[in-house]
Amino acid sequence: MTAERDGEADTGVSTTRKTFAILEALKSEEGLTITEITERTELPKSTVYRHLATLTDMGYVIEREGGYYIGLRLLEISEQTRNRKTGYTAAKRKVFELGQETDERSLFVVEEEYDAVYLHRYGSLADTMIGKRRPMHSLASGKVILAEWDDDRVADFVERKGLGRHTSNTITDPDALAEELDRVRKQGYAINDEEYMDGLCGVAVPVHTPDDELLGALGLFGPASRFTEDVHEEFVSRLRDKAGEIRVTLAYG
Amino acid sequence: MTAERDGEADTGVSTTRKTFAILEALKSEEGLTITEITERTELPKSTVYRHLATLTDMGYVIEREGGYYIGLRLLEISEQTRNRKTGYTAAKRKVFELGQETDERSLFVVEEEYDAVYLHRYGSLADTMIGKRRPMHSLASGKVILAEWDDDRVADFVERKGLGRHTSNTITDPDALAEELDRVRKQGYAINDEEYMDGLCGVAVPVHTPDDELLGALGLFGPASRFTEDVHEEFVSRLRDKAGEIRVTLAYG
DNA sequence: CGGTTGCGTTTCACTATCCGGAACATTGAT
DNA sequence: ATCAATGTTCCGGATAGTGAAACGCAACCG
């Protein structure tokens, strides 16, 4: 009823929330029918019908063979974000080169609202993971970005997002995190030692613009069996080269 | 008032339309302030304010330094479309390889609602063009797709979208289009001879799944000066190789 | 320093419009 | 032909979105 609650619940336009509830439903499972969306969103059938009519009319949703799909028009909107900075686009190419040269999975990650978000990725055909959000403290790329922040901002991150445990190796203690970030700052790269998922390791370095603004993190990851001590050096030097190339590209086109 | 008009105007939820009007405004120009969005959308200020509050609350829009930006959460939704089919993801890699090997711009295009839509692209750092929509009849890749359709569907396309002229070379006559599509079918590839933009040429081939379903079109394009008769053969054979590789990837993982 | 301009924010009364139950139409299967 | 399940339409009602206007806050400036 009244505007504000404990947190801040129902600001603004609930109609818009319904629309996006439907889009999110289609994200997780494409080709749904109206009734299936009804079940998943717990919205009345006629409401879903009306919203879908609007969305298809605008082209953001496509109906084909009785099922509904996210339209490519949304792609045009969101792709904007991946090219917001020239450095992002330059990073895309480097991610690809890294993947080809090392035959491992590679990624470029930026931070948004204290999440590590995949902007570019090279890897398995099944799932590109682009747009997926991960907890920063449990990823090599996330730690690289955290290491560039001052203590206050890191403290705020810890407070707001917490240091959730994902494996037995996850850093869950703020002091341990501070130590780790110090180490990252000193050595100039971060390592993920099965901290997010068992058996999954990674290495990442920061990417800077010519005027030393942080763009994001460039990383490689793969199974623990292949990410042993002795390959770290090679991976790190490759990553540094690519990060440097991005910087140069930005400076001299 | 009554449900339908001449075309079909205001179906469904006008609130949702307002939300997307705001998102579209941010797409074309990021970092806008509330008043700037007000001007561009011609919506009252308080309405824009309320919608933006909702969108930022949901994370689809981000506020930074007084300006509003599209959030990366939208990326997660739309990226789904680029990986709807495994072939799409496989094509991404091939587009990249093509670009690297030929040092020209390359693309993978699919059709949606009679538009040619860029799904993957390799080229300039400035603009990736992903998600952009182009008229099918004036693109090599578009013609490749049209050539796979039966006459009825092509006729429907012509009726619905028209054959708009973009340059002096654009095919604007339905019969000429039919002839051209015959040629494309025979030779198995299409050429864009400055039909969309003066000085811009292209070559494209169709991409099929192992069970001969059309996935989209794979193409190369660049300045007319480099796309002369004698290089067509080389480009076409390269494109055919890559299209074949996609097919094989789909068949044998 | 007042005054002014321009912006984001909030208020508030109004009613447009979104809602959703329920009836209806359509399809497909048995 | 019957039935079940789905998509579509209808319609009264009140929710909730609307937008003009007022407010608060900076920055700018005379």
B109 with B59, same domain: the answer is: no
Residue B68 confidence (pLDDT) above 70 = yes
Task: Identify whether residues B23 and B128 lie together within a single domain.
Answer: no
B76, B78, B128: residue with CB nearest A132: B76
Q: What's the whole-number mean pLDDT along residues A101-107?
A: 96
pLDDT at B6 over 70: no
Could you say which nucleotides of strand D lie within 7 A of any protein CB atom? 5-10, 16-21
Residues with Cβ within 8 Å of A94's Cβ and at least 6 positions away in sequence, in order, are A108, A218, A242, A243, A245, A246
Is the domain of B160 the same as that of B51? Answer: no
Pair B205, B243: CB distance under 8 Å? yes
What's the pLDDT at B2? Answer: 29
- Tell me: do B63 and B100 sit in the same domain: no
Residue percentage of chain A with pLDDT more than 70: 95
Specify the CATH number for the domain of residue A51. 1.10.10.10
Q: Which pLDDT does position A137 carry in this prediction? A: 98
Residue A8 lies in a domain: no
Mean pLDDT of chain A: 93
Same domain, B123 and B47: no
Does A137 share its domain with A240?
yes
Q: Report the number of distinct structural domains present in chain B.
A: 2
Least confident of A116-120, A191-195, B7-11, B182-186: B7-11
Q: Is there a domain that residue B4 lies in? A: no
Indicate the helix (H) or strand (E) that contains B110.
Answer: strand B105-112
Residues B40 and B144 in one domain: no
Rg of the Cα trace of chain B? 21
Instruction: Assess if residue B6 is contained within a domain.
Output: no
Q: What is the pLDDT of residue A1?
A: 31
Please state the separation of Cα A153 from the chain's center in Å: 19
For residue A233, how far is the Cα from the chain centroid? 25
- Strand D CB shell (< 7 Å): A 12-15, 33-35, 45-46, 49-50, 66; B 3, 14-15, 18, 43-47, 50-51
User: Which residues in chain A are contacts of B116 at CB distance < 8 A?
Assistant: none
**pLDDT score at A201:** 96
Q: How far is CA A165 from CA A158, A161, A162, A174, B66, in A?
A: 13, 12, 9, 12, 35
Res. A4: pLDDT tops 80:
no
B5 inside domain? no
The answer to whether the beta carbons of residues B81 and B205 sit under 8 Å apart is no
> Do A61 and A89 fall into the same domain?
no
pLDDT digits (tens, 9 = 90+) for A195-237: 999 999 999 999 999 999 999 999 999 999 999 988 899 999 9
| pLDDT recorded at residue B12 | 67
- pLDDT (0 to 100) of residue B124: 82
Tell me which chain B residue has its CA closest to the CA of residue A24. B77
Q: Which domain holds residue A24?
A: 14-74
Q: Are residues A158 and A63 in the same domain?
A: no
Please report the pLDDT score of residue A65 as a whole number: 87
When scoring A10, A11, A16 by the number of chain B Cβ atoms within 10 A, the one with the most, hence best to mutate, is: A16
A6 in a domain, yes or no? no
Both B95 and B145 in one domain: the answer is yes
Token digits for B178? 């039919």
CATH number of domain containing B216: 3.30.450.40
**pLDDT value, residue B10:** 58
pLDDT of residue A229: 87
C-alpha torsion sign, points A61, A63, A66, A69? negative
pLDDT for A5 beyond 80:
no
Which residue of A70, A93, A113 is in closest CB contact with B78?
A70
- Final residue belonging to a domain, choices B22, B53, B72: B72
- What does residue A140 show for φ and ψ, rounded to 5 degrees? -60, -45
pLDDT of residue A253: 77
Query: Does B99 share its domain with B169?
Result: yes
Q: Of A29, A48, A74, which residue sits at a domain end?
A: A74
Based on the domain organization, do A216 and A114 belong to the same domain?
Answer: yes
Does any domain span residue A2? Answer: no
Q: Is residue B9 part of a domain?
A: no
Give B83's contacts (C-beta < 8 A, 6+ positions apart): A127, A128, B89
Q: How far is B25 from chain A (nearest CA, A)?
A: 10
Closest CA to B108 of B159, B122, A143: B122
Q: In this model, does residue A126 exceed pLDDT 80? A: no
Is B63 a domain residue? Answer: yes
Q: Give the model's confidence band at B8: pLDDT under 50 very low, under 70 low, under 90 confident, else very high.
A: very low
- Tell me: the pLDDT tens digits for B228-241? 988 899 999 999 99
Residue ending a domain, choose from A54, A74, A94: A74
pLDDT for residue B183 is more than 50: yes
Provide the pLDDT confidence category of residue A12 given band limits of 50, 70 and 90: low
pLDDT in tens, B122-166: 988 777 899 999 999 999 999 999 999 999 999 999 999 999 999
